[in-house]
Chains A and B, each alone.
Chain A
Amino acid sequence: MDTPVRRILTGVAALILVIIAFFLIRLYIEARPVFSAYGATHFVFDNAWLPSKNLYGAWPLIAGTLITSAIALIIGVPIAVAAALFVTELCPRPLRATLTILVDLLAAVPSVVYGLWAVFFLIPKIKPAEQWFSDTFSFLPFVGGQVAGPNYFIAGLLLATMIIPIVSAISREVLATVPQEHKEAALALGATRWEMIRLAVLPYSRAGISGAAMLGLGRALGETIAVTLVIGNSAHLGSTIFSQGYTLAAVIANEFGEAASNPVHRASLIAAGLVLFLLTLVVNFIARFYVTRAEKKMLGGAPVAEPVATGAAA
């Protein structure tokens, strides 16, 4: 009886590998027409996405994906890490649980609801501020000119909100593993709280926090619906961060319905999905590497070469 159960469960686990292999192969087969027609390099780097003229260069989409995700990281990661630091090191104990739950609740709001809110609240309310910024700092690269309603920056801002809970949650876990003794060692030297954070907490958790940020990046790259609603869906690569744009995920959500009748259009959207998948795969791979390394370091204790022997002391 035990062996059959074991076999069945092994089979179920193997099914996961089969699904993923099948997933990649099917996606590749379906996307192949566009690769063979244009070549993978042209598909990725050509700056022209014009389905009406049968031009499928995905660069404006890839660039848009990278721009919005970069904005999300620049805004979201410092806030998320600060929230994690505040909860683990600074805030009064009774507040801890409440704050943790509130930050986690940010993740409970569905992407489409964030999109709805951004379209009818964020975009109109923030536009004057964006215009002011654009006029005042027009000397900066990628800033200046007329601000579009939906744009890269709004998408990035919304993505920042959406990655804060995950980045913050993982940062919290990483910060919680900093050994109490290291923090106390800093305090025992007469460090203030902030000096303790600088001296003992942040250096210890640097790798883990990088991993958390990368996981957040993975989320931001693949986020679809909210971005579709606020990016403007213009396949022309915008010249400033306040221009309309497009992302890989948004183009799939937006054009797939109408592409069903055009095999090349459909294939290029699936190819866009494949590129997106590979992009998130690489980012997640790096993130896992960092987080796992951080965890291992914590488990192994601080010193690298620690001859633990209590011989004389026993």
Chain B
Amino acid sequence: MTPEPTTTLTDVDLPETPLTTPEVPAHESASEAAANGKNGRRLSLQDLKAFYGDNEAVHGINLEYNPNEVTAMIGPSGCGKSTVLRCINRMHEEIPGAYSTGKVLLDGLDVYASDVDLTAVRRAIGMVFQKPTPFPTLSIFDNVAAGLKLAGIKGVEASDRVEWALKGAGLWNEVKDRLNSPGIGLSGGQQQRLCIARTIAVEPELILMDEPCSALDPIATLRVEELIQELKEQFTIVIVTHNMQQAARVADRTAFFLLGDLVEVGPTESIFTNPTDSRTEEYVSGKFG
């Protein structure tokens, strides 16, 4: 389950990340994480606003995501949680007329800085989508190797990484004998884990998940949720979910969104049992949504 040590951290000097949010007690600071051999990154949003044309869909969000934690974003449809997620890896701007303002800082580095290369951002921030999206003509192996191939990694190194990623995604034992058969031949749950393997194969700094289980059956959902727990040992994970039980099961912290605003964020348990805002309470107790 451990990444190959040779390929981790070609560490460039990262600036010391100041912990700007004292009101949110991080249960592990970045330096502590590094000391534990965990290398998830800290993500912070500063006054993030997102627009679709003239319509402001997200109104100035400030939010910290702790390293090596799973942070869930919940809220009713249209609350802006998916938009926030898509702003983090700059996928939001793929939609015609859409743009965003504010800062998205990954360990202090601004994803939106003017000289930043879009493809570098997206390479460094992995994303798993609602529906499984294996590339239709590629084999299982080639699907996982797709991102590596783009970066020019081939041969033994690539196959080692594919194996590592498939093991990491808990799929290795199911597919190791048919790596050359097509990726779309797998079941829905396997396809989604294949996509997760594809995402972690390139060793992203951060993994975004946009309702990753909404197209899966209960058993497949359970597998993916277990996987998320394992992955947070190495990665910082942000997950958007419609489903509060899922947030309760997988997330360390939970952020509740409503109508484009961040209503409340805190440890998952306290959000669900003892929310400070009445709107959060109404939502988590199922009064609307």
Interface residues of A (CB under 8 A from B): 93, 179-192, 195, 199-200, 203-204, 206, 301-314
* CB nearest to A297 among chain B residues: B136
Interface size on B, residues (CB 8 A): 50
A238 to chain B, nearest CB (A): 40
22 A-B contacts, Cβ less than 8 Å apart?
Answer: A181-B131, A182-B133, A184-B94, A185-B129, A185-B135, A187-B119, A188-B127, A189-B199, A190-B120, A203-B135, A203-B136, A302-B133, A302-B134, A303-B132, A306-B188, A306-B191, A308-B215, A312-B217, A313-B216, A313-B221, A313-B243, A314-B243
Whether A305 pairs with B187 at a CB distance below 8 angstroms is: yes
* CB nearest to B120 among chain A residues: A190
Q: Is B229 an interface residue (CB 8 A)?
A: no
With A188-B91, A302-B134 already in contact, 13 other A-B pairs whose C-beta atoms are closer than 8 Å: A93-B96, A181-B130, A184-B127, A185-B129, A185-B195, A189-B150, A203-B135, A308-B215, A309-B217, A311-B218, A311-B221, A312-B221, A312-B246
Whether A312 pairs with B222 at a CB distance below 8 angstroms is: yes
* CB nearest to B131 among chain A residues: A181
* CB nearest to B213 among chain A residues: A313
* Chain A contact residues: helix, strand, loop or mixed: helix
Q: How far is the CA of A203 from the CA of B218 in the complex (A)?
A: 31
Whether A307 pairs with B220 at a CB distance below 8 angstroms is: yes
Q: Is B275 an interface residue (CB 8 A)?
A: no
Whether A187 pairs with B122 at a CB distance below 8 angstroms is: yes
On whether A189 and B131 interact (CB within 8 A), knowing A204-B136, A312-B218, A313-B242, the answer reads: no
Whether A199 pairs with B91 at a CB distance below 8 angstroms is: no
A203 to chain B, nearest CB (A): 4
On whether A302 and B217 interact (CB within 8 A), knowing A189-B150, A190-B122, A190-B150, the answer reads: no
* CB nearest to A190 among chain B residues: B123
Q: Is B189 an interface residue (CB 8 A)?
A: yes
On whether A307 and B122 interact (CB within 8 A), knowing A188-B89, A190-B147, the answer reads: no
Whether A199 pairs with B135 at a CB distance below 8 angstroms is: yes
Q: How far is the CA of A125 from the CA of B187 in the complex (A)?
A: 59
Q: In the assembled complex, which residues on chain B have CB atoms less than 8 Å from the CB atom of A188?
A: 89, 91, 122, 125-127, 129, 199
Q: In the assembled complex, which residues on chain A have CB atoms less than 8 Å from the CB atom of B216?
A: 307, 309, 313
Q: How far is the CA of A11 from the CA of B122 in the complex (A)?
A: 60
Contact of A305 among B91, B119, B188, B195 (CB under 8 A): B188
B235-279 CB mask vs A (1 if < 8 Å, else 0) is 000000011011000000000000000000000000000000000
Q: In the assembled complex, which residues on chain A have CB atoms less than 8 Å from the CB atom of B137?
A: 203, 206
Q: In the assembled complex, which residues on chain B have CB atoms less than 8 Å from the CB atom of A182?
A: 133, 135-136
Whether A181 pairs with B214 at a CB distance below 8 angstroms is: no
Q: In the assembled complex, which residues on chain B have CB atoms less than 8 Å from the CB atom of A179?
A: 131, 133
Q: How far is the CA of A307 from the CA of B217 in the complex (A)?
A: 6
A231 to chain B, nearest CB (A): 39
Q: How far is the CA of A200 from the CA of B281 in the complex (A)?
A: 42
Q: How far is the CA of A187 from the CA of B189 in the complex (A)?
A: 22
Whether B187 pairs with A310 at a CB distance below 8 angstroms is: no
Q: In the assembled complex, which residues on chain B have CB atoms less than 8 Å from the CB atom of A191?
A: 119, 122, 150
A180 to chain B, nearest CB (A): 8
Report, nearest first, the 3 A-B pairs whose CB atoms are least far apart. Answer: A190-B123, A312-B218, A203-B137
* CB nearest to A185 among chain B residues: B133
Whether A303 pairs with B94 at a CB distance below 8 angstroms is: no
Q: Is B151 an interface residue (CB 8 A)?
A: yes
Whether A190 pairs with B151 at a CB distance below 8 angstroms is: yes
* CB nearest to A96 among chain B residues: B96
Whether A308 pairs with B135 at a CB distance below 8 angstroms is: no
Q: How far is the CA of A185 from the CA of B245 in the complex (A)?
A: 27
